[in-house]
Amino acid sequence: MATATLDDVAPPRAESPARSALVFAAAATAVIAASCLLAGFAPLGFSIVTVFLFAGPHNWLEARYMLTRMPARWGPLTLYFTTGIAGVLLLAAGLAAVRWLGEWLRLDSEMWLALYAGWNSVFVAWVAALALMRSRQNPRRNWLWIVPGAFVLIALNWLWPMTWSLALVYLHPLVALWFLDREIGKMQPAWRTAYRGCLLLVPAALGVLWWNLASAPNLPGNDWLQQQITQHAGAGILSGVSTHLLVSTHTFLEMLHYGVWIVAIPLVSVRMTPWQLDNVPLARRSNAWRAAILAAVAAGVIVMLVLWGGFVANYPLTRDIYFTVAMLHVLAEVPFLLRLL
């Protein structure tokens, strides 16, 4: 069967490794600089446009990447993947239930906090359990320190549950950069030095944003959409910090996250169009599996189109629902990242 891979269209592999690394570094630098500028000057507009354009595609391509990393037969990894998938589904459903039932039952703030803190505790316990299971797989690691670390994190969470949740919001975009680092190390080692050099630009760009926006006035306006965006970035939790600064910082990191999942990972790791399943181990099990995975990929396209339709029809409501359901992909990253370490 003839297959057209991204190698055919992407020049880096055809060129010398040094030259392709330079092209990659130049592109990464341009994306970081442009994202920083747009996030700083037009934080709300940039946030609205990036979520509209990239939220759906990045989830689709991320799911496609995970298919390439999921073994065809789990064997001794059965417990690991079962715990991973069950945790993703239960924790995502749990968070949605906390939000929707909380609003429906009109819970008071104490109950809200207790539920959020409880969810965060289960999340930490789940990550710690997965990490301990991973440490017993090849290559073996001595990760016993994760147990006291997890208890400390749970303790901090019960003292400041909202701040802890906000930390997750800001850390999640950075996880994509970690994924990319591991994938470059495996698939394009010649790019690693250039990539890590570009990573230094991220704190530099954050420094530029904070330097310029530390004393900026809050963003004007107070409609539902703006409240969503500013609260998502931490307004109300980090009181006293300019909402302009918060939204700019969050939008900048989100854009990098989208760039990694939509451009960099497919280029470095998947190296195939999403509907070609030659590198999906599960698709090699049988024709039925191949058809099922193809159907799942097609369903992803439909979900993406529905999401765009929802954004056009009612952007704030769709955004609200999206960020609740999107917890699925945040959680799904954990077992796959641990497997890469």
Partner 1 sequence: MNGLVTLTSAALLLAWNAIAPGNVAPPPKKPERVVAEVKIERGAIKGEGRAVQAKIIIPKGLVHGGAAGAVPVVPAPGAAPAPRAVPAPNARDQAGLPFGTIIAGVCMSLAAVSLVFVVRGNRGAKTTALAIVAGALVLGAFSAAYADLIPGRPNGPVPVPAEIVIELVDGGDTVTLQLAR
**Is there binding between residue 114 and partner 1 (CB under 8 A)?**
yes
At closest approach, how far in Å is the CB of 295 from partner 1?
34
Residue 55 to residue 262: CA distance in whole angstroms: 10
Q: Which span (148-156, 211-219, 256-264, 279-287) binds partner 1, by CB under 8 A?
A: 148-156
What letter would DSSP give residue 272?
A: B
Angle between helices 161-187 and 327-340 (to 10 degrees): 50
Instruction: Pick the binder of partner 1 from 163, 193, 273, 286 (CB under 8 A).
Output: 163
At closest approach, how far in Å is the CB of 105 from partner 1?
9
Nearest CB to partner 1, comparing residues 315 and 336 = 315
Instruction: Pick the binder of partner 1 from 107, 167, 321, 328 (CB under 8 A).
Output: 107
Binding to partner 1 in span 206-225, by CB under 8 A: 221-225
CB 226 within 8 A of CB 44: yes
**Is there binding between residue 316 and partner 1 (CB under 8 A)?**
yes
Q: Which span (82-90, 200-208, 233-241, 297-305) binds partner 1, by CB under 8 A?
A: 233-241
Residue 333 to residue 128: CA distance in whole angstroms: 14
> Whose structure tokens read 């073996």?
140
**Is there binding between residue 275 and partner 1 (CB under 8 A)?**
no
219: helix, strand or coil = coil
Which H/E stretch holds residue 204? Answer: helix 201-213
Residues that contact partner 1, how many (by CB under 8 A): 42
Convert 235-248 to b/e letters by CB count within 10 Å (16 or more is b). Answer: bebeeebbbbbbbb
**Is there binding between residue 310 and partner 1 (CB under 8 A)?**
no
Nearest CB to partner 1, comparing residues 81 and 151 = 151
CB 198 within 8 A of CB 28: yes
**Is there binding between residue 94 and partner 1 (CB under 8 A)?**
no
5: helix, strand or coil = strand
At closest approach, how far in Å is the CB of 235 from partner 1?
9
At closest approach, how far in Å is the CB of 318 from partner 1?
10
How far from each other are the two terminal CA atoms of the chain, in whole angstroms?
Answer: 34
Nearest CB to partner 1, comparing residues 75 and 240 = 240
* Cα distances (Å, whole numbers) of residue 137 to 74, 80, 339, 341: 12, 10, 9, 11
**Is there binding between residue 156 and partner 1 (CB under 8 A)?**
yes
Residue 132 to residue 146: CA distance in whole angstroms: 8
**Is there binding between residue 148 and partner 1 (CB under 8 A)?**
yes
What letter would DSSP give residue 12?
A: T
Which residues in this chain contact partner 1 in the complex, by CB under 8 A? 102-103, 106-107, 109-110, 112-114, 116-117, 144-145, 147-149, 151-152, 154-156, 158-163, 221-225, 227, 231, 236-239, 314-317
